[in-house]
A = this chain, B = another copy of it.
Amino acid sequence: MLTERQLLILKVTVDDYIQSAQPVGSNQLTKKPGITSSSATIRNELAELEGQGYLEKTHTSSGRIPSQKGYRYYVDHLLTPNPVPQQDIVQLRSVFEEKVNETEEIIKRSAGILSELTNYTSILLGPDIRKHIVKKLSIVPLSPGVAVAIIVTDSGHVENRVFSIPTDMDPSDIEKMVNILNERLIGVSLHDLHNRLEQETLALLRQHVERYGELFRTFQQALLLPRSDNVYYGGKLNILRQPDFHDIQKIRELMDVMEEGKHIPEILPIGAQGLQIRIGSENALAAMEDCSVITVSYDIGDEQMGSIAIVGPKRMDYRRIVSLLDYVSSDLSKELTRLFQGK
């Protein structure tokens, strides 16, 4: 158990280290507001805090830096929220000023602004496109043997794939196929599309469309390949600004992991509620053991739509980022809900 004074010292130490990136000594601490004891007393307390695992030394006669446990205690118990500065709000709101109607564009821009404001890297996960509902399907022949399939969803997202068709295909057959597809598949989610395609339309196609087999096969194949990743990054290069990262090898591993889409689920815990903080080795990925990740989700109406993550060093400005993400999450939820409430 920690005494009042120990809590204060821990908080001030973490705050100072976050700000200065230098180990904090007992003498410095005596100068901090709120601290009245002498340096000797502070030293005793620091030794105690170290004994309990909240602080560490970089070498025998150095000042203290927070341990992972120290950061964890700090964010769990010592973090006092901070109102978001008006200036930041103005910049964040600018995303909505220009009447951009596309969710993707809004999210992309938000990622950029977040990274600018924080000097860290931001990762925004957009709405799961598999939940989108088919609004219209069409097939546009390009040249003999080649056509492009287009799916428009209710959110205005457009998926398109080029696929091959029999060279001597009758155009009216394509038209028939498009009609059948639209009749049967509007209102289906992209997630269900593949199954429903087979169940609902294959029999109909067989009846009405000549050579449906070849056409159907390549069309179905084209829709199989997942595309359009809905992950947006801001300030990937901000990692290079952090004095905490000097080992080029580590930077490379870290950027590698973030760039590669397949690790996104490990960075952004999908489905988690509210704001989450992962410090150092609490992250699933070894390459991120020197990082902290703060994530928050946002939603449209009652449905969770995506998440926002800020990746920075363990020595991250937790207070600022937490308030900022809280604000962005609710703001984004509100605006996106407003944008789509009419549907």
The listed residue (B101, B102, B161, B252) touching A241 by CB distance below 8 A is B252
* A166 interfacial by beta-carbon distance below 8 Å: no
Which of A152, A154, A256, A343 has the most chain B CB atoms closer than 10 A to its own CB? A152
Number of contacting residues on A, CB 8 A? Answer: 38
The listed residue (B101, B248, B343) touching A240 by CB distance below 8 A is B248
Nearest residue in B to A101 (C-beta to C-beta)? B162
* A217 interfacial by beta-carbon distance below 8 Å: no
Once the chains bind, are A146 and B255 in contact (CB under 8 Å)?
no
Once the chains bind, are A162 and B152 in contact (CB under 8 Å)?
no
Once the chains bind, are A164 and B240 in contact (CB under 8 Å)?
no
* A145 interfacial by beta-carbon distance below 8 Å: yes
Once the chains bind, are B148 and A150 in contact (CB under 8 Å)?
no
The listed residue (B99, B148, B240, B241) touching A156 by CB distance below 8 A is B148
* A163 interfacial by beta-carbon distance below 8 Å: yes
Once the chains bind, are B158 and A158 in contact (CB under 8 Å)?
yes
Once the chains bind, are B135 and A342 in contact (CB under 8 Å)?
no
Report Cα–Cα, A148/B155, bound state, in Å: 9
Given contacts A148-B156, A248-B246, are A343 and B143 in contact (CB under 8 A)?
yes
Once the chains bind, are A145 and B248 in contact (CB under 8 Å)?
no
Residues of B contacting A143 in the complex (Cβ-Cβ under 8 angstroms): 154, 340, 342-343
* A21 interfacial by beta-carbon distance below 8 Å: no
* A95 interfacial by beta-carbon distance below 8 Å: no
Report Cα–Cα, A135/B144, bound state, in Å: 14
Interface string of A299-343 (1 = CB under 8 A from B): 000000000000000000000000000000000000000001011
| This chain's copy number in the assembly | 2
* A270 interfacial by beta-carbon distance below 8 Å: no
* A142 interfacial by beta-carbon distance below 8 Å: yes
Interface string of A161-195 (1 = CB under 8 A from B): 11110000000000000000000000000000000
The listed residue (B144, B150, B241) touching A152 by CB distance below 8 A is B150
Report Cα–Cα, A161/B150, bound state, in Å: 14
Report Cα–Cα, A275/B251, bound state, in Å: 33
Query: Which residues, 229 to 264 on A, are CB-close (under 8 Å) to B?
Result: 236-237, 240-241, 246, 248, 251-252, 255-256, 259
Name the distance in Å between A240's Cβ and chain B's nearest Cβ.
4
Name the distance in Å between A166's Cβ and chain B's nearest Cβ.
14
Nearest residue in B to A100 (C-beta to C-beta)? B162
Once the chains bind, are B246 and A259 in contact (CB under 8 Å)?
no
Report Cα–Cα, A162/B146, bound state, in Å: 27
Nearest residue in B to A104 (C-beta to C-beta)? B162
* A40 interfacial by beta-carbon distance below 8 Å: no
Nearest residue in B to A240 (C-beta to C-beta)? B252
Once the chains bind, are B259 and A251 in contact (CB under 8 Å)?
no
Q: What are 20 contact pairs spanning A and B, CB under 8 A?
A: A135-B140, A135-B142, A136-B140, A140-B152, A142-B152, A143-B342, A144-B342, A145-B342, A146-B156, A148-B156, A148-B158, A150-B152, A150-B158, A156-B160, A158-B160, A237-B255, A240-B251, A241-B252, A246-B248, A248-B248
